[in-house]
Amino acid sequence: MATAYYLAKVHGVTRVAVLEKGWIGGGNVGRNTTIIRSNYGLPGNEPFYEWSMKLWEGLEQDLNYNAMVSQRGVLNLYHSDAQRDAFAQRGNAMRLHGVDAELLDQDGVRKLAPFLSFDQARFPIMGGLLQRRGGTARHDAVAWGYARGASERGVDIVQNCEVISFLRDAAGAVTGVETTLGRIRAGKVGMAVAGNSSRVAALAGLRLPIESHVLQAFVSEALKPVIPGVITFGAGHFYISQSDKGGLVFGGDIDGYNSYASRGNLPVVEDVCEGGMAIMPMIGRARLLRSWGGVVDMSMDGSPIIDHTPIAGLYLNAGWCYGGFKATPAAGWCFAHLLATDQPHETAAAYRLDRFRTGHLIDEKGQGAQPNLH
Ligand SMILES: Cc1cc2nc3c(=O)[nH]c(=O)nc-3n(C[C@H](O)[C@H](O)[C@H](O)COP(=O)(O)OP(=O)(O)OC[C@H]3O[C@@H](n4cnc5c(N)ncnc54)[C@H](O)[C@@H]3O)c2cc1C
């Protein structure tokens, strides 16, 4: 939706159809834990995510739609000297890119979140890296805001319309798609189907460096305001924020095996809850209201792809792993730029598909080639 919106708004391209096999907002955009931030360390990533943050900061005015963008801060806790050094390095890299970052000691974290379990023997909380401009946004409102903006500018949005194959000319170039509602011809086709990327690319004979994994999320009963912003555990995979309705929204790691099922399994539920109990035992008293899963497109270096494919006429936007919601504005902006001009946008130039062949990986998370094992 963001790509269609910026194609129309920035490039004046309005002969665009967005094809959605389900309903708008039913994919990962409506299933994530709504965190937005630009606290990346590598040059290939930081300018892109900061561009996204700047677009978030003007998004509601731009769309004239309340997306509940709430810059309450994102605090990454550290638990050892080595982790503090790594966070200091990341914070410095952010500041060199003109992005806000503050390294807090334990007293600084205590002022923000006095309820944390600071002095436990196993994972003592020594401090944290804070990005005050980070926070949350209401995810389904973002999808609907972009949809309304695109629709008003003449974009066709076709729901319950699944792409089932690609139309090709004699030279093999993509010239349109076959869908469950019929055939649609197009000069260019852009794929942005997240956890279904490998399956849809396979319809064109492409094998992507992407694995599909289930990622779960959880929400508790509504509580009075207790969590000031987003807090992440540095010694395990757990992160938490509080929604405007009062629910504690939290999550952790992927389930750890390839799947296209948007539901998860109990071992990860246990693992996530253990992470929560480790840093804030008080949440053991909150009742879990519901949990759900989404199918995330894990790339092999943890970073996304916004690029041409080797097939003429077919473009790819994928590999968002745990973190494509925060990228939504910039991902849409940069994919629109690529589709309209056939040139990569300057902030997304490193997100090439061939980097896995040439070795120019953007290994921000140090996950290597087996993200499913980490
Ligand atoms: C539990 C969970 C928590 C997350 N938390 C965060 C977070 O806090 N912050 C963050 O930045 N990111 C987070 N993410 C990641 C983020 O949600 C995704 O990276 C992002 O939403 C991907 O956006 P998208 O538009 O590429 O994909 P989607 O929103 O998934 O949209 C892709 C759409 O393609 C459609 N589709 C698939 N196949 C076809 C076909 N053949 N024909 C037509 N349509 C098709 C699907 O139905 C889907 O609606 C989280 C993800 C999950 C699952």
pLDDT of residue 262: 84
Cα atoms in the Cβ-side hemisphere of radius 13 Å centred on 282: 11
Q: Which amino acid is at 156?
A: D
pLDDT of residue 120: 86
State in Å: Cα 171 to ligand 1 middle. Answer: 32
Pocket test for ligand 1, best of 3, 184, 322 (most atoms within 8 A of CB): 322
Q: Is the CB of 94 under 6 A from ligand 1?
A: no
Q: Are strands 127-131 and 102-105 parallel, antiparallel or unpaired?
A: antiparallel
pLDDT of residue 369: 47
Q: Given phi > 0 = left and psi -120 to 50 = alpha, else beta, which region is 340? A: alpha
For the chain (length 374 residues), average pLDDT per consecutive 10?
98 98 96 97 95 98 97 97 96 96 98 95 95 97 98 98 98 98 98 97 97 96 96 95 97 92 92 96 95 95 96 98 97 98 98 95 68 49
- CA torsion sign for 297, 329, 185, 343 is negative
pLDDT of residue 370: 55
Which residue minimizes the CA distance to atom 32 of ligand 1?
193
Quote the pTM value: 0.97
Please count the other Cβ atoms lying within 10 Å of the Cβ belonging to residue 92: 13
Alpha carbons 220 and 252: distance in angstroms, whole number: 15
Q: Is the CB of 251 under 6 A from ligand 1?
A: yes
Alpha carbons 178 and 166: distance in angstroms, whole number: 6
pLDDT of residue 371: 54
Give the residue among 247, 350, 278, 272 at the shortest CA–CA distance from 34. Answer: 247
Computed over its alpha carbons, how large is the radius of gyration of the chain? 21
DSSP per residue, 116-171: S-TT-SSS---EEEEETT-EE--HHHHHHHHHHHHHHTT-EEE-S--EEEEEE-TT
Alpha helix locations (H) across the chain? 2-11, 46-63, 81-96, 106-112, 139-152, 197-203, 266-279, 328-341, 355-358
Q: Which atom of ligand 1 is nearest to the CA of 143?
A: 29
Q: Which amino acid is at 72?
A: R
Give the residue among 356, 318, 322 at the shortest CA–CA distance from 213. Answer: 322
Q: Is the CB of 306 under 6 A from ligand 1?
A: no
Q: Is the CB of 236 under 6 A from ligand 1?
A: no
